[in-house]
Structure 1
Amino acid sequence: MSARVMAVWCPDWPAVAAARAEGHGLHLPLAVVGPRGVLACNAVARAVGVRRGLRRREAQFRCPELVVVAADPARDAAWFEPIVQALDAVVPGIEVLRPGLFVFSADGALRFHGGVEEVVTRVVDAVGAAGAECQVGLADELPTAVLGARGSALLEPGRDADYLAELPVGALVVEPALGDVEVLSELVGLLRRLGVRSIGDFAALSPRDVATRFGEAGAVAHRIARAVPWRPPSVTPVPTGSAVEHRCDPPLERVDEAAFLGRRLAGELHETLAAAGVSCLRLSITARVEDGREVNRVWRCAAPLTPEGTADRLRWQLEGWLTGTAISGGAGGAVTALVLEPVEVVPAGHVQEGLWGEAGLAEARVHRALVRVQGLLGPEAVRIPVEVGGRGPAERVQSLPYGDAPAEPATRGPWPGALPAPSPSVVWPGPGYLLEIRESGDPGAAVAARVPLSRGVVLRTEVGVAVDVTWRGLLSGRPAVVEVGGHQSPLLGWSRPWSVDEAWWEPASEGRPRRPLARMQVVPERAAALLLRRPLGDEPEGWTVEGVYE
């Protein structure tokens, strides 16, 4: 039988770390918000309905007094380091999965302290002395221990599968250390639609069928559900001389210096590993201090580390050491040397590269940059267009904070009355857009004027009568001229108007009743083609420009 694993979980750690860093009291509702909404919240916020996964606006709607703090993994790691240090004196061989969660081999601790209750008591007391709360899980396999920690489950040997079978299938998503939360969420959603409600139901499926239907992510989750041996020790030897050591001259004392150094050392380490054809799964970070002390931490990862991931963990760890008690609390606290050493490696061929090669790395760098901007300026500062359903060109695109998913998936159709192809190249130009009026109908003619579209558009017949749209969706006359900002241009062509009457059941907004509208396309001789709209009937606001076909 393999060595048993004990997991220690500090609930709501990102919220706890944020409260400590910002100086907020425990009585205040607090939520940590990332690109995809609420990542963590404290018990006070949960009591009023705030939950993980909610969008920021929804969370603030449920709790107007909510204190919102941007996600910061470095802050979480820095405040978590004293907790790990407190456990170093109780149990050896601690491996950090993420700030707020670590694991260790339980066999030695059980023999040394005399039993399960004794070890759990010492662990809880040590974490409590460091000012935090924790829950402990014990199991044969690491994933079971991690999930068991959330229920304070101390399992007997051989009982992992029985315990997991009773958990809802959604439990596979609760812990980021076990896999990509977004991918697992899609998997769990699909399983629920197929009628799979518990982890036991999922485990009962054939491994071959699961791998065929759900791919690699499904196969990994299925191994967790069946409590099969989880990532046994790698048989790939660690390449000789793969450790990267750096002597800090002058000694390292500032976090910004640590971040710069971390990127360089991570690059050197991964160049060495790439030359040997391996990737790192467990990384040891060691710091030597001016007074001769040495501090060490091991990070375990579910997937092979990338250079960016290695640099992040080194930066988080150094920030924890430089701002925590392990180094700065004693004499001679500056770091004089750093050592990065791979503890466990796998062949690099086991890591599936992106389909587009370097494009995947570029996408990852863009993602990190956008998330960083959001961390500095707030989630609403970076917005992206998302395709949604609708009839008009402006309705088909919705602006959302980067990382948020639309409330409803994009609807492909049918949409009766929708704008036919091609779509305008400029949608909803607004008052700042200037329409170019040429001197003649020649496409290469010089520009006679640039007219702001805020002045509105008038369609006229050959005798100068304004053209409206009746309540039945018919034109009141034959358009011959379009007038924009006092400049007229003959029409080369125009489409028959089509009327749209939607959401008529919703209440009126801004004191104005809902009115059906009509759209039509016109092609001026001396300007770009336009998409126009106006309410049906004799309305004073007339035609407005909804899009320009440049």
Structure 2
Amino acid sequence: MNAAAATGAAAAATSGGTTSSGASAGAPERVMVFWVPDWPVHAHLRDQAEETASAAAPLRSAAPAQRGAADPVPPARAPVPPVPPLALVAQHRVTACSASARAAGVRVGQRERDAQSTLPALEVHPHRPEVDARRFAPVLAALEERFPGIEPRRPGLCALRARGPARYYGGEESAARILQAIAAELDLPGARVGIADGVFAAEQAARAAADDPGVGAPAEGVRIVPPHGSAAFLAELPVSRASDAGFAEVLHGLGIRTLGALAALPEDAVRQRFGAEGIAARRRASAAGPVHGAELRPRTPARDYAVELVCEPPIDAEEQLSFACMSLAEACIGGLAESGLVCTALRIELTDDIGVRHEREWAHPRRFSAADAVGRIRWQAAAIARDPERGGAGIARVRIVPVHTDRAAAHEPGLWSTEPDDRVHHHLSRTQSRLGHTAVGTAQLSGGRLLVDRQRFVPWSIGRTRARRARDSPAAPWPGAIPGPAPSTVFPRPLPAALHAADGAPVGIDADELLTADPAWLGVAGARIDSPVQHWSRPWTIRERWWEGAPERFRLQLQLADGDAWLLIRTADAWLAEGRYD
């Protein structure tokens, strides 16, 4: 029903809701605004309630196997408790407050200390804008199921063209009532809907009272300005509604205090005196359309690629489960392919008929195909411990959720198809599923100053991934590292070495960070070296964690007369062989 409504509203908007076909250039279009007053306070309370529920969840008894058909029906939704006097602050100023706090004299922009002195019982919490956006995302998703083409203006406020929904639902008032019904389902009793010519006028209509002139109130929380009546409705509003505080103060100094007075000024005079800022404020005050382009820019809704299969009756055999999930995996991978994406990691959730969920994330060194996803389902089902006393008849629900996606163009094979063979990947993944996650892997170049630090073992299921942190990237700056080429042989543990001059004296590092003598002979534990030293580099210093008192280390490259070359490192008055150039 919701999908059909969204499709019908979109078709109505396409048939008659575009501004290019039905309105002159620059003329405002009818806009609906959905607004939740004090949304940061609502988002904070919802986030706080969820954290409290999560903390109390382990104290509850889950026991899904003990529930029966005679369980009591869940109670009806409790009424929403009144919001206590609460304020959100950032940089010691109030950024949002509840209605009860406003009634006591707290205002947005007030200093935190002044707000607390005004209302000693005020609850003060830090304002987190990321919580506002995260909590408003489900609201947008619920609205987009019935009303396509929504533009989020800010958390708590969104706008859409009114013509399409009005044609589909039988009028602007009916469409507004549908929005209010959705708000009631989402526990947003104070939501407001404003309809007017243009986004600015519609937003001001949503904020208007029921008895304000020029606006109608056909239902609770719904304000509608008649067509071509937005300029008259805005005329009595203060100029601070259409501009910032600084520009409004300038206009007050000139005797312009209402939007009607600002709209009465000639546009050329406003442009010459105030520039682009004045023109924008005047166009809002006169309910004029945008200067260039469309006023609304609807977003593209985020698509959910997760798929789910309900097995009735439950399936206990792995082969039968994998066969039943083949179409499910094809739908998941095919949906990603339609959007030009591939899946590199997915999460498989298997829920049995008694409510126990078995969840695991799987990664792929390249990209998942439908057969790969089905194979992971079979392996995960086979790994579930079989307990004859546990009861249950098998898996009742399967859910596949893409965790990491990437552009398909970035995973196309090279000119010579340098990717591993499918049979190699199949057998290595099968071996890994039997021996463990870290039993099979490949070597990957990482970041670091020493050669040993630049080697990292990566499990096969992870494959080619980007470094999660900048300091793990080999491209990051590493003072003291070898610019290249690197030695062909790197010792897992540096070998003890000795470096002597021609007279047999040991060669060290002096106070000027130079060699105390010209090296002539090199000795490395476990290696036979018969050739003298012919060339050597200047030693360079590796300084790291000096704030912790870590000693300095020095590196030195040597070339022998027979062509062999060595990389040495000196630490604690001793030479060590770090690598060898063959």
The higher radius of gyration belongs to 2
- How does the TM-score come out when normalised to structure 1? 0.42
